[in-house]
Structure 1
Amino acid sequence: MPPAKRAQTMAENRARLLAAARRAFAAQGFAEASMDELTAAAGLTRGALYHHFGDKKGLLAAVVSQIDEDMAVRARKAALGAADDWDALIVEGVAYIEMALDPEIRRIVLLDGPAFLGDPSQWPSQNACLDLTQQSLARLASEGRLKPVDVEAAARLLNGAALNAALWVAASEVPAVTLPKAVAAFKAMAAGLLAAPR
């Protein structure tokens, strides 16, 4: 098989495994999802799973990363009509928290992800989000819109608040009831970063 064709086949197999895992983890949860059923649904073998992801936990990490990227895109789309950088940041944060109601996100990213992969603030996808938040806050600081606080600290706390609010909503007994409380508190806390109007 030519190298280009081999690379294409490997990419297709990886995508099939990710899609099958995403369906299985959303429907059954990570712990209950069977690797044999999952690989059979993808039309592949366990060997393919091990080759691409190392093990089941590696597959979960890849699925979480893929969904996290989708979440970032959705949050940015939600903020497209924002009036300015500050409004965009808040809209993105609120959109992230609201995604805790999405059954796939709730189960895979917010419940199983932390349970099996550890602290979400250490995931690579969260670092990418942190960088974007820090860039937005740096622009706002240069415009004099923020109180004199360290931009990195503000970005970490703002992102952490959105993440923890989403985790709280996802883990609550009635997420739809918890959501508006989480959003209201997030907005109130974030507003504390703003400088007083001139």
Structure 2
Amino acid sequence: MAGKKRVQMVEETRAKLIQSAREAFAAKGYAASSMDDLTAAAGLTRGALYHNFGDKKGLLQAVIDQIDAEMLERMSAAKEKAGSVWQGFMEESIAYMEMSMEPEIQRIVMLDGPAVLGDPSQWPNQSACLRTTMNTIQALMQEGTVRPVDPEAAARMLNGAALNASLWIASADEPEVVLGKAVDAFRCLAEGLLQRD
């Protein structure tokens, strides 16, 4: 019983710190958010932050992981509404690019994340995205929608295109204009894989 209560307390502490950091990073950005402010807003100490996340960078990673999980749910919902595997793949990819215009995602995931944590294509969550895209490409080849191609190569190219487009959109002076250009270009690239009669 005591062990279960301790696990619950740890989870609550982590959740408070992540929520506090998420609000601060979205409002002020990573660099302007002090650890003292983050912990005070959560009603906790710096020790709790260090114990649970190691440092502020570890807390940023936890916030990005949370946002990323929410993004994946939304992308999955967009995919499920589509009438075919191909349309689902396209809707999922475009939804990802569209989310890069949302202020919280834009600032935390697309701008501060790469600046602090490095190349997003090397983040742990990208491996899961790559596997999902590879599986989709294989399914599209099996049904004859996509011509024979190495699924890993195609997945890496398409994921890279969507990621780089999203980074471009997030940092643009006119993100709406850039989104339109990026979606058009992504469609052209992806449609190059389609089986031609």
Q: Secondary structure at the match of 2:80?
A: coil
**Deviation of the 1:145 alpha carbon:** 1.8
Letter in 2 for 1:19: Q
Report whether the alignment pairs 1:107 with 2:107: yes
Question: What's the counterpart of residue 16 of structure 1?
Answer: 16
Aligned length, in residue pairs:
197
Structure 1 vs Structure 2: percent identity of aligned residues?
58
Report whether the alignment pairs 1:57 with 2:57: yes
Of 15-24 and 142-151, deviating more is 142-151
Cα RMSD for the two superposed structures = 1.0
**Deviation of the 1:126 alpha carbon:** 1.4
CA distance in structure 2 between the aligned counterparts of 1:34 and 1:63, rounded to whole angstroms: 15
**Deviation of the 1:148 alpha carbon:** 2.0
Question: What's the counterpart of residue 187 of structure 2?
Answer: 187
**Any runs of at least 4 consecutive aligned residues in structure 1 with deviations exceeding 3 A, and if so which?**
none
Gaps of 5+ in 2: none
Output one character per residue of 1:41-60: Cα deviation in whole Å (capped at 9) or x when no partner.
11110000000000000101
1:26-65 superposed matches below 5 A:
26-65=26-65
Output one character per residue of 1:67-116: Cα deviation in whole Å (capped at 9) or x when no partner.
11111111111122111111111000000000011000000000000010
Q: TM-score, normalised by structure 2?
A: 0.97
Output one character per residue of 1:9-29: Cα deviation in whole Å (capped at 9) or x when no partner.
000000010000000000000
CA distance in structure 1 between the aligned counterparts of 2:136 and 2:38, rounded to whole angstroms: 41
CA distance in structure 1 between the aligned counterparts of 2:112 and 2:53, rounded to whole angstroms: 17
Letter in 2 for 1:188: C
Letter in 2 for 1:122: Q
1:84-103 superposed matches below 5 A:
84-103=84-103
1:63-78 superposed matches below 5 A:
63-78=63-78
CA distance in structure 2 between the aligned counterparts of 1:135 and 1:177, rounded to whole angstroms: 32
Gaps of 5+ in 1: none
Q: Secondary structure at the match of 2:81?
A: coil
